[in-house]
Chains A and B, each alone.
Chain A
Amino acid sequence: MSKSIDLTLKVWRQAGPKDKGHFETLRAQNISTEMSFLEMLDVVNDQLTLDGKEPIAFDSDCREGICGMCGAVINGRPHGPLKATTLCQLHMRHFNSGDVIAIEPFRAMAFKVIKDLVIDRSAFDQIIQAGGFVSVNTGGAPDANAVPIAQDQVESAMDAAQCISCGACVAACPNASAMLFVSANVSHLALLPQGQPEAARRAIAMVREMDRQGFGNCSNETECEAECPKSISISNIARLNRQFYRASLASSVK
């Protein structure tokens, strides 16, 4: 059953990448517990607009937890307190009247703040550009059933392929490492025969690009796995490390 709650928000406000930024305290009143977190922010924004103030800038698009556009750190946790849940799928029934909620952008050197909670994640696109694909052109593919793939193999690939590229793993990591993201992408393709020919090149190129983009190194803190809204496993990082070392030592890829 729905009920109404009143909240105090401490929201990160930052006019632009060069602005220092600060927390602003805002009230969110008469919030229905059936609302999603972002719908709560919509309501706050409508009020700010009517009061002649600037609404809070935040990204969101599908609001079904699949596009990866939304995300913020809620009371210190990327996407908020619920396990395996994006911010758009977090509902206000998980909060109580009187709660104080701190809302900040995902922070990392490689993710510049554009405005308020909106960040620049183009570094992720550049990591994919470095090699996160299978090099096939449209038109030349063999019949889809030509290569059988074991069911459990494809299921493992799918587990990794679910990454929504939101950046929560980076925000959760004390080193702001993107290893979970990179390893999910590397693993997905490495687990399928179609990804094999380029597996070595891919692992090396993507890890190098991650470094170049200013992400930190992995030191097995495992916070990424805990906060990942798609429950991507850190076993992918182990697989990436194996791929990376094998490729560095044994393949001709430089």
Chain B
Amino acid sequence: MLLDGKIPAGPLAEKWDRHRFELKLVNPANKRKFDIIVVGTGLGGGSAAASLAEMGYNVKAFCFQDSPRRAHSIAAQGGINAAKNYPNDGDSIRRLFYDTIKGGDFRAREANVYRLAQVSNAIIDHCVAQGIPFAREYGGLLANRSFGGAQVSRTFYARGQTGQQLLLGAYRSLMRQVAAGKVQMFARREMLDVVLVNGHAKGIVVRNLITGQLERYAADAVVLATGGYGNAFFLSTNAMGSNVTAAYRAYMKGALFANPCFTQIHPTCIPVHGDYQSKLTLMSESLRNDGRVWVPKNPGDKRPANQIPESERDYYLERKYPSFGNLVPRDVASRNAKAQCDEGKGVGDTALAVYLDFADAIKRDGRDTIARKYGNLFEMYDKITGENPYTTPMMIYPAVHYTMGGLWVDYNLMSNIPGLFVLGEANFSDHGANRLGASALMQGLADGYFVLPYTIGGYLVGSPKETLSTSKAPFEEAERGVQARIDKLMAVQGKRTVDDFHRQLGLILWDHCGMSRNNAGLEKARGMVQELRAEFWQNVKVPGTTADLNQSLERAGRVADFLEFAELLLIDALHRQESCGGHFNEAYQTPENEALRNDEEYCHVAAWEYKGIGQDPEFHKEPLTFENVQLTQRSYK
């Protein structure tokens, strides 16, 4: 089946304007008659919930954390892009659009990405009005910096805590609407199923994480903004609680999952140091603006960094990519780091790290300037590793960071299930096969502040109004299913902990479906995942009871879903017999070892339909057509 993305007709630059005009409006007096559920309160969900409430809708917002202000958007460091062209360096909406399409290796929709670039400027305006303390120049105007893979300075930032500040802006707007009675906030709730009534998404079942009770909520539409699935790899830069459960449950109910194999491995993270490690910490890639990446020229050189003379160092990114140097996109930087380590040139105890060196920048700009730019990042590094980056080069290694794949949505951000909308990292729409730095914050806020609030009205006006009731059969059925699964998890009482299984799953994916992939490894990994899943249901041990706070049970449910989802990830990676962006199949590379796309056969979105656990999902294709850009081999030389 070919999928219809419902891209509006007309010239690229006019599509969004025309579409907004053509969408039916909900009469202001009628908005209060509609209830909307928003699951997840990060940049996408928080901004959507606040904006919808401001417009007059009744919103029920849910998050699994103790407060909506803790969603993992808060950890984004570097910044947010916009096409303001304040620095007068030649930026424009079209350039931001082009960079994003190219950075995504031509696997995203033109129309979506263009809209993203169009609304980017309004995001900055709104955030400033909310009181976001973006960095400023001495004259009082906003400061910009250039950021991973861009040759213009279009990134707005608030020290190294941009995500925190933007999220708190959305959170404050959300709290304002809670106070106004337009948003009901449900914290410490985990969504465990979406409920369909006559084929439309009309509610959810959640577990109250404090009491253990299952609760049902009904609404006229359901919005998922539940983040990405990077924690399938166990070790990632995601928060401990980040999970695929909400998206996966929607997939099991018929929502298509698109391009799951597009996973982003971020080049600048603190390297792994032990088996007990619970997560990896990102060092913002803004560091690459001033840090120089290098390894010793000779494999196995174990001398400390300061004893390796300049002539025996290989600044491999500057050497291979003279025009972009240390600022090549994330996938390119990550693969190169792995290649150096594979050649035995890795540094540190594990030899799975490369240097990121600030000595030249400190010599050039002075320690104070560097401290002003990166002080908090250097401190964080020092805390974790016990080493001082002002005097010793940082050690970095790639880590799973972001997932471009997600639930399939059309131009309105609606999945193939009517009434089920998906925002932010949870959808697949804007980043193609690789996301550029400072674009995740832009997309989350674009979806939540400026896209969904318009498009959801079109659905609400055009679909039959149901009476809202949670006593309908589909709600009972969904709750029974959720309860049965919880009971099943508790009944196993085996000999291995949840984390133990999760760690093993992560290693399988990292080894076979990480920075570089091959068909034999992917096939093998699929078998390993199936075996591990079978063992999980025989041998997992979940302590405690279901009737109160039980963090092991929460994790067990998430890992059970990861164990099924991992197979989908592998199937998608096997399907895509090309290399593009974050998906690198060793069989498809240029003579210079760059990703080699196959536009003839794979210039499409691969969207998968659930057919049962262990069954092959059904493949659906959305062809990608490019009318405004020329598909080129990405080159950063």
A residues with a Cβ closer than 8 A to B are 2, 15-16, 32, 34-36, 38-39, 42-43, 46, 48-50, 52-55, 57, 59-69, 82, 84-85, 89, 91, 93, 114-115, 118, 120-122, 124-125, 128-130, 132-145, 147-151, 154-155, 157-158, 161-162, 164-165, 188-189, 192, 194-195
Contact = CB atoms under 8 A, between A and B. Distances in A.
Contacts of A129: 175-176, 178-179
B75 A39 contact: no
Interface string B48-59: 001100100000
B249 to A, nearest CB: 21
5 contacts: A32-B276, A60-B240, A67-B65, A144-B121, A194-B129
Contacts of B450: 138
A139 B126 CA distance: 7
Interface of B: 47, 50-51, 54, 65-70, 72, 74-75, 84, 86, 121-122, 124-131, 133-142, 158-159, 161, 164-165, 168, 171-173, 175-176, 178-179, 185, 187, 210, 239-241, 273-274, 276-279, 281-282, 379-380, 383-384, 386, 449-450, 453, 495, 497, 499-500, 541, 543-544, 548-549, 551-552
Contacts of A46: 497, 499-500
A39 B136 contact: no
Given A34-B273, A67-B72, A129-B175, A158 B158 contact: yes
Contacts of A68: 69-70
Contacts of B274: 2, 32, 34-35
A121 B66 contact: yes
Contacts of A136: 126, 129-130, 173
A2 B175 contact: no
Nearest to B498: A49
A138 B124 contact: no
Given A34-B273, A63-B239, A120 B54 contact: no
Contacts of B276: 32, 35, 39, 42-43
Contacts of B121: 144
A6 B96 CA distance: 54
A66 B70 CA distance: 8
Contacts of A61: 65, 70, 72, 239-241
A89 B171 CA distance: 24
Contacts of A161: 133, 158, 165, 168
A192 B543 contact: no
Contact of A85 (B131, B142, B383, B549): B383
A144 B142 contact: yes
A91 B133 contact: no
B130 A154 contact: no
Contacts of A66: 74-75, 161, 164
B133 A157 contact: yes
A67 B384 contact: no
A125 B67 contact: yes
Contacts of B278: 36, 38-39, 42, 63
Given A138-B50, A148-B141, A49 B541 contact: yes
B187 A122 contact: yes
A88 B548 CA distance: 25
B161 A137 contact: no
A53 B543 contact: yes
A148 B176 contact: no
Residue from A93, A125, A142, A143 having most chain B Cβ neighbours under 10 A? A125
A91 B384 contact: yes
Contacts of A143: 125
B74 A62 contact: yes
Contacts, number: 212
Contact of B138 (A36, A144, A151, A194): A151
Nearest to B541: A49
Given A2-B273, A32-B274, A162-B161, A133 B126 contact: no
Given A38-B278, A50-B497, A138-B450, 15 more contacts: A34-B274, A57-B549, A62-B240, A63-B279, A64-B380, A65-B383, A114-B210, A134-B172, A137-B54, A138-B54, A141-B125, A145-B141, A157-B131, A158-B133, A188-B133
The 5 closest A-B pairs by CB, nearest first: A148-B140, A133-B172, A141-B129, A141-B125, A129-B179
B142 A188 contact: no
A34 B278 CA distance: 12
Contact of B124 (A49, A52, A144): A144
Contacts of B50: 138
B9 to A, nearest CB: 26
Nearest to A84: B379
Contacts of B499: 42, 46
Given A32-B274, A34-B273, A54-B543, A165 B128 contact: no
A69 B66 contact: yes
B180 to A, nearest CB: 9
B54 A91 contact: no
Contacts of A135: 176
A128 B125 CA distance: 23
Contacts of B171: 128
A140 B449 CA distance: 12
Nearest to A34: B273
Contact of B159 (A158, A164, A192): A158
A121 B332 CA distance: 43
Contact of A89 (B124, B130, B380): B380
A246 B130 CA distance: 24
Contact of A125 (B127, B175, B210, B453): B175
A84 B380 CA distance: 11
Contact of B552 (A55, A62, A64, A91): A55
B549 A133 contact: no
Contacts of A16: 548
Nearest to A41: B278
Contacts of B176: 129, 133, 135
The residue among A39, A128, A194 with the most chain B CB atoms within 10 A of its own CB is: A128
A142 B127 CA distance: 11
B130 A194 contact: yes
B492 to A, nearest CB: 13
B159 A141 contact: no
A138 B69 contact: no
Contacts of A55: 543-544, 551-552
Contacts of A48: 543
Nearest to B187: A122
Contacts of A134: 129-131, 172
A57 B554 CA distance: 12
Nearest to A16: B548
A235 to B, nearest CB: 17
B74 A121 contact: no
A155 B375 CA distance: 14
Contacts of A63: 239-240, 278-279, 281
Given A49-B552, A67-B239, A132 B66 contact: no
A34 B349 CA distance: 13
B70 to A, nearest CB: 4
A231 B148 CA distance: 30
Contacts of A15: 548
B622 to A, nearest CB: 30
A152 to B, nearest CB: 9
Contacts of B541: 49-50
A188 B131 contact: yes
A42 B502 CA distance: 13
B74, B138, B178: most-surrounded residue (chain A CB, <10 A): B74
